[in-house]
Structures are given as structure tokens and as C-alpha cells.
Structure 1
Amino acid sequence: MQARADVVVAGGGLIGLACALRLRQAGAEVLLVDPEASPPPASFGNAGHLATEQVEPLASPRTLASAPRRLFGFGGPLDFRLTDIGDWGPWALSHVRASDAATFERGRRALGALMAGALPAWRRLAEALGDPGLVREDGHVVVWERWKSMAAGLAAWHGADIGEAKFAALKPDALAAVQERLAQLLAGGARFTGTGQIDDPARLLSRLGGAFAAAGGQRIQARAQGLSVSDGRAVLSLSDGQRLEPGLILVAAGVGSRALMRQAGHSAPLIAERGYHIEAAAPGWGEPPPVVFEDRSVIATRFGQRLRLAGFVEFGRAEAPPDARKWARLERHARELGLPFEGPISRWMGARPTLPDYLPAIGRSARATNLAYAFGHQHLGLTLAATTGEIVAAMAQDAAPPVDLAPFDIDRFARAGYSNSQRKETST
């Protein structure tokens, strides 16, 4: 049956769902095109951390300089799959270009504006879902195992722009409360406030999907596989044979947005930045907020009676097979730290959609009057999902968005001379 809607959202991850719900609540007839995903989208497997302290884009001179010592081969979290050099090679060159001081400073201001609205937008969305407990605003903890790294880490955080978040060194009793859950001796830590956690990402996805359906939103299982532009109008082709030309097409397909936007004539140099987690029952972990083990570049987050340990920044193809060494290293970290895992350990891997300057792409196409986009949120998809939904809903109604969208214009890459040539790829 031919689907009909005012707005078609291509992508059923967290960004797509949040946008679809807010568009429907604003009165639009919305069709969500969601491919069957196995494993679940990256939205499911994240650490649950609302990282409002991460105002500074990872495209920076400092991050670039530190990359060699953070490589996986030297025990760090950063890895480049050699077999996928055709994907990450061009992206890495673009990333180096985007990591100069001037571009970083512009990105810091732009990302700071988005971050300022992140937690308030999450409060509003949780209330709209009738589940305010989804959002926990009890901050997070960063700990170090070595005195030298603690001194360097605290100095780095003192010099960083963390937006409206704040932090202070852990007092002895607070450090002891973390230490008593661990086998590894800690040198010290810091407690951040003004950050938060989603109580359960899986529950969040379920609540968003349920609220969208209850509000009258349509959802079909299909793959958005073609996006063409003719006479200033975009047409979306689906894997079930449908060709849709609604009043608005929103591309929110994560890494798959690259292929769709390329077909529409836009340069969208996305890379799959893959992360891994392990998870198990851990009734002995108690009620602490997320804990970042900065020496190991991993984060532990409790969801109910289960504990998730997440980490790694692996560049490659989204569809490439997982690297079991990443899970093995996470399990080693869990043993060395003394995390109270009980029973079988589950494993997961997912791909973050990342642009070279580590800013998302949010806006309307200059090539088609009915084409908009919201993708490329890298590590901050969970953090920025709620505010992105509000921005897209305002944009669809031709209302002024709460932030200046110029820094997030996808054509910034074409203007800077980024290549739009990629190997043949599939959409989502």
C-alpha cells in the first residue's frame, strides 16, 4: 500500500525517532522509514551518558597530537581497520584539515550552543513521554589510577570548556565509596555536575516508539535506498518499491546518510566510528552515577541490575565484522578493575556516524525545497537527540530554531573542497 505523509523520516535510530515524535506532536503526518536492524542501532548500545561536558569538538590540535599514543596497538582506545583504509583514509585527511585552531574554535562555539539546550530538552521529552525517571541528573565521576595521569587529567579539565557543567576533585569519602566497589587502587577522581544519564537506553527507544505510534505516527520496515532531486524537489525510493515525494524528507539515517545525501548532490563525508560494550548482571555495583576510568578510556554505567562497560573508537566500514579483541580487552579491564560481573557477559558493537569536524549536520538542503537532514552526531547522539528533535520540528514549521544552524550546514564540506567521491555504498 502506498504510504502517505506530510513528512517522511529516513532512519529509525534515536535521532530519527526523536525527530519523528516531535514532528508528529507538532501536527505533521509523519512516516518513519526504519530498516530492520540486527544488531540494534547505535542508540541501543551507548553508555547512557548525557555528556554535556563535552563542548569541545574532538577535531582539535590537541586531540590530533595525542592520537599516536592512544592507538589500540599501544593499549589505547583508537583503532583504524587496515582493510577499511578506503573508507577512513580520505576521512582522516579531512579530519586533519578540520582540526586547525580556527575551525576548532568555531566548532566549540557552535557545539556549546547546542549543549546548552541538551538537558532542558531531555527534561521536556521525558515529561512528554510520561516517564521523567528516564533522565537522571546526578552527574558522573571520572577516576584515575595513577598520580601522574590524575594531575594531567585534572589540569586538562581545568583548561577545557565544559559548558554549563562543573567539576571538583573527589573528597576522600566520595573516593572511598567508588574504591570499595573495585579491586584496582585509585589515585583520585573528580565529580561532575550538570551532566546526566538515561536510565535505560533500550527503554528509551521503546518509549519513543510507543509514543510515536500512540500519537498516530506511521512506521514501516523498509530501507531508504535512493534519494534523487529533480526540479528542486527530492524523491525518496524505498526497498519495497515505493517512491515518496512528501512535503518534507528528513534524512536521519546515521552512517547511511552518506549515501543518500551523495545521491542528492551533497558531500557528506561520514565515517563509521565504531564502539564496543560488554554487559552483565552486577547487583553489587550499587547506585553510583556513570564512572569514567580515564586511564583506560572506558565508562561503566548501571542500567537496573546490569552494568555496562563501553569504549573504543574504531574507524572502518559500519558493516565490517566486529573485532573480538576489543571485547577481550574490555573483559580484561573488567577483571583488573574488579567489576562485580555475575553470570554470562553479553557483547555488542555499533557504529557512530561521524563527520570530519565532529559537528553534526542539521538543516535544510539548498538543492531541494523538501529535503532536510539531521545526522553525524558522533559520540553525542544520545546527548543531543532531544534538542535535535525540537530543532527539526521548529525548522519544519519555518519557525526560528533555538540555535544558529549555519555551523551545521552540510554544504560546509562542499565549500571547503571536501571530495564527494566514495566507493559504492548502501543506504539505510
Structure 2
Amino acid sequence: MQRGGRRVTLIEADDVPRGASYGNAGHIAVEQVAPLASVATLRNAAQRLFVRGGALSLPPRAIRDWLPFALRFARASTPARFASGRAALGDLLGDAIPAWERLLHAVDAPHLLRAEGHLIAWESPATAAIGRAVWMEADTGTARVRDADGADIRLLRALTGDRVIDAVRVDGSAQIADISALLERLRAAFVAAGGTLVRHKARSLVPQPGGIAVDAVGMFGNVIVAAGVASGGLLRPLGYRVPIIAERGYHLQAPVAASAWPTETPPIVFEDRSMIVTRFAGGLRAASFIEFTRADARPDPRKWRRLHDHAAALGLPIGEDAERWVGARPTLPDYLPAIGRSERHPGLYYAFGHQHLGLTLAAVTGERVAAMLRGERADARFALARFGGRRGLG
């Protein structure tokens, strides 16, 4: 938007944001074309429950939050809706890495994107046979799955004490090398281009003649709601139906020497453990879990304990003193983001609900919002109108 000549104010509650895109794997996951809202996900959900050793957590105390969402999720998982969702996500993901390349070139930080793919590893012949078959047949968009080569297998076995017996490599995906450095570079570029940062937690939007008031911060001709899980609370009073939920993830991160985990190691998905491990400039991070609950619910220490156990079993250099994080992915029932403009409230735009793909789709989403502000047509597949609500709110 700034490159288009607009003056931009960013209203951000936290001085150092630590949301889902900060805390998850840093993986630019262009291979995840298939929405999680699918018949296959419903069929396998029971096997993936946390109580059975999996990553899916449905806390009984949060049933009022996740049960209505689960029913909407089931309705969004029909073959027809899955197919249309896959096409929509594929269109976005196809431009995700080029958009990141354009953005990082503009802020003179192309080195922060490592487009070197990632590895998916298994620890038993049975799970390797199943997982390999699934990935070789999967629609992975612009990414391509192939056998891991000899060097990949040797690296994996060296890192895990021969626990890994098989793996595939995904070419065409990427990662952010240093998320903290990315945040600092984007913020510096934003301010240098005349942007204004306001430390404030937005609580209400009030449409008025000539603009939209955001609390006592001020009146703006255009407002883009990009507040993650909190976006629903901002838009519902205006008549929008926003069935969003906090899908929380957990991570552990520890400093690591290059001798223990080479800096050029790509992200590794340990699929038997539903865990991804990423080497960042600041350390080694293990991330996992899909926990449906309130964003502000007390963290579940069992999740960190299980990550510790997985790391120990694999011989990873992540000890008991590792940094702990929990954060909420903003997820809508059909696993598509909400990107669009309001037809009823002039100047009101939105971009949120990117589930596991927030970092992946950040740059291309920014380009699409900027295009809408230039008057280009919004993609109706991502409009909030798909959830109902008052007419003309999409």
C-alpha cells in the first residue's frame, strides 16, 4: 500500500508480536494445497487425538468453543467444497514464494528466504510405506515430492542416531531463515517509508460518514482488519458472521551449535510424531499440535512435555531449559482465509483466518489487499459472505 502512495498506520497491540506466524515453524508451505476440511481428515480424526499420542487436542473444558466449529467443519468437508477449496488455495499458494521474493527484494533482505525445500521422515517401515504412498500421490501445487537422496538420508541418520529409516524431499517449498530479523526488517522499512506505528489493542470499529473510527485512535478512510483470531470480535458487531476459532500450536526452541545441527539443514517433518523441526539463525525449534480452544486459555504443559519426549527420543539438542511458546492460529471452518472488502461499509477490508498458512500467504495476501484498494475485484471465494450474515457484508 505504501508503494502505491498511501499513508499507512499500523495499530498493533504488542511491541514484540509473538503470534502464530512468529511461533510456528517458519515454513513456507506451498505444498499444503489441500484444505484440512476434508472427508479424509474426518475419517482419521480419532486416530490423531492427543490422548492417543497424536497432535489433535479437543479439551473438554473448551467444548463450547470447538463443538460448533466442528459441526461447521464437517459441513465444509464435502467432496464438492473440498475441491473448490483446493482450487482456491492453489491459486494463492502458487504465487506465495514469488510474492515473498518481491517483498524481501523491496526491503533489501532476500537472504531471509531459503527456498531449498524440506524433508519428511519416518521411523518405521510401515509408516514409511503409508506416508510415502500418500505424498507421492498428493496434489502439492507448485512443489514436487521425490525420494530423498543418499546425502539426505545420511544427514537424517546422523542427526537422529539412525532413528530415521526413510524420507522424501519436497522441492519448491521454503523457509524464513530468521523470523526476528524478518520482523525487524519489515518494521524498519515500514517506518522509513513514512508508516505510523500505534501501540494499542483495537476493540471496536465505528463506521461514520467519511471513514471508520478505530476506538479513540482516530478516523481512517480505509481500515483493514488483519487481527487474527481477534478479527471476529471486531467484525461481529457490524453484522458479519465470522466462525473463527483459535487453533493453538506449541513449540520448544533452544540454541544450537552448527556442529550439532548444520545451518543449511532444511525443515524436517517427523511425520510419525506430527512434529516439524526447523533450524533458525537463533536456534533449533520443534513445533506441533492442533489444540482447539480459546486463544487466552491456560497452556497445557503436557504438550511441551511431549515435545521434550520426542526431542529426547530422536536425540535432538533441545533440553529441559528450552524456550516455550504457545500461540493461536486463526482458523475458519473451511480452512480458507477471509480476504475481501465490505459492500455495506465503504472503506472496510479484511485479511485473516489463514490457519497453518499465515506466514506462507502473508506476502501474497498483502499484494491482494493492496490491489483491492486500487479498485481491483476481490476474489469471491475468500469473501466472508460464504458464511452468511447480513446481505452485502462480503
TM-score, shorter chain, exceeding 0.5: yes
Question: Which of 341, 350, 358 is the equivalent residue of 2:335?
Answer: 358
1:280 and 1:343 in contact (8 A); partners too: no
Question: Which of 321, 334, 350 is the equivalent residue of 2:311?
Answer: 334
Question: Which of 365, 374, 382 is the equivalent residue of 1:388?
Answer: 365
Q: Corresponding residue for 2:326?
A: 349
Between stretches 36-45 and 82-91, larger displacement belongs to 36-45
What is the correspondence of 1:267-282 to structure 2 with a 5 Å cutoff?
Answer: 267-282=241-256
Aligned-pair distance for 1:173? 3.5
Between stretches 135-144 and 154-163, larger displacement belongs to 154-163
Q: Corresponding residue for 1:412?
A: 386
Q: Corresponding residue for 1:10?
A: none
TM-aligned CA distance change 1:383 to 1:39, over 3 Å: closer
For 2:318 and 2:332, how far apart are their aligned partners in 1?
Answer: 35
For 2:295 and 2:369, how far apart are their aligned partners in 1?
Answer: 26
Q: Corresponding residue for 2:104?
A: 126
The DSSP-based 3-state class of the residue aligned with 1:363 is strand
Q: Corresponding residue for 1:422?
A: none
For 2:211 and 2:81, how far apart are their aligned partners in 1?
Answer: 31
For 1:85 and 1:195, how far apart are their aligned partners in 2?
Answer: 35
What is the correspondence of 1:293-304 to structure 2 with a 5 Å cutoff?
Answer: 293-304=270-281
- Cα displacement string for residues 145-179 of structure 1 (whole angstroms, at most 9, x for unaligned residues): 11111111111112211001001111334211211
Aligned-pair distance for 1:38? 7.5
Q: Corresponding residue for 2:226?
A: 252
For 1:382 and 1:195, how far apart are their aligned partners in 2?
Answer: 13
1:234 and 1:368 in contact (8 A); partners too: no
Question: Which of 261, 279, 291 is the equivalent residue of 1:285?
Answer: 261
For 1:377 and 1:179, how far apart are their aligned partners in 2?
Answer: 34
Q: Corresponding residue for 2:180?
A: 202
Aligned-pair distance for 1:24? 1.6
Letter in 2 for 1:297: S
Aligned length: 388
The DSSP-based 3-state class of the residue aligned with 2:163 is coil
What is the correspondence of 1:397-408 to structure 2 with a 5 Å cutoff?
Answer: 397-399=374-376, 405-408=379-382
The DSSP-based 3-state class of the residue aligned with 1:344 is coil
Q: What RMSD over aligned residues (CA atoms) do the two structures have, in Å?
A: 1.8
What is the correspondence of 1:217-236 to structure 2 with a 5 Å cutoff?
Answer: 217-229=195-207, 235-236=212-213
- Cα displacement string for residues 217-254 of structure 1 (whole angstroms, at most 9, x for unaligned residues): 011011111123467x763332xx3452x221100000
1:282 and 1:342 in contact (8 A); partners too: no
2:2 and 2:193 in contact (8 A); partners too: yes
1:224 and 1:236 in contact (8 A); partners too: no
What is the correspondence of 1:105-120 to structure 2 with a 5 Å cutoff?
Answer: 105-120=83-98
Question: Which of 320, 328, 339 is the equivalent residue of 2:297?
Answer: 320
1:46 and 1:201 in contact (8 A); partners too: no
- 1:24 paired to 2:2: yes
Q: Gapped runs of 5+ residues in structure 1?
A: 1-22, 418-428
Letter in 2 for 1:79: S
For 2:173 and 2:296, how far apart are their aligned partners in 1?
Answer: 32
For 1:39 and 1:389, how far apart are their aligned partners in 2?
Answer: 18
Q: Gapped runs of 5+ residues in structure 2?
A: none
Letter in 1 for 2:222: L
1:261 and 1:268 in contact (8 A); partners too: yes
- 1:87 paired to 2:61: no
For 2:363 and 2:208, how far apart are their aligned partners in 1?
Answer: 32
Letter in 1 for 2:239: G
For 1:58 and 1:140, how far apart are their aligned partners in 2?
Answer: 20
1:184 and 1:338 in contact (8 A); partners too: no
TM-aligned CA distance change 1:201 to 1:305, over 3 Å: closer
1:49 and 1:196 in contact (8 A); partners too: yes
2:156 and 2:162 in contact (8 A); partners too: no
For 1:202 and 1:46, how far apart are their aligned partners in 2?
Answer: 12
1:277 and 1:327 in contact (8 A); partners too: yes
The DSSP-based 3-state class of the residue aligned with 1:411 is helix
Q: Corresponding residue for 2:189?
A: 211
Between stretches 348-357 and 197-206, larger displacement belongs to 197-206
Between stretches 109-118 and 36-45, larger displacement belongs to 36-45
Letter in 2 for 1:333: H
- Cα displacement string for residues 182-238 of structure 1 (whole angstroms, at most 9, x for unaligned residues): 13521200011000000111111111111111110011011111123467x763332
Letter in 1 for 2:302: R
For 1:174 and 1:250, how far apart are their aligned partners in 2?
Answer: 43
2:211 and 2:221 in contact (8 A); partners too: no
Identity %: 47
Q: Corresponding residue for 1:7?
A: none
Relative contact order, CA 8 A, sep 6+: which one is greater? Answer: 1
1:169 and 1:191 in contact (8 A); partners too: yes
- 1:47 paired to 2:21: no
What is the correspondence of 1:142-157 to structure 2 with a 5 Å cutoff?
Answer: 142-157=120-135
2:239 and 2:389 in contact (8 A); partners too: no
Question: Which of 212, 221, 237 is the equivalent residue of 1:263?
Answer: 237
1:227 and 1:234 in contact (8 A); partners too: no
For 1:217 and 1:289, how far apart are their aligned partners in 2?
Answer: 34
- Cα displacement string for residues 100-124 of structure 1 (whole angstroms, at most 9, x for unaligned residues): 1100000000000000000000111
Aligned-pair distance for 1:37? 6.3
For 2:248 and 2:111, how far apart are their aligned partners in 1?
Answer: 29
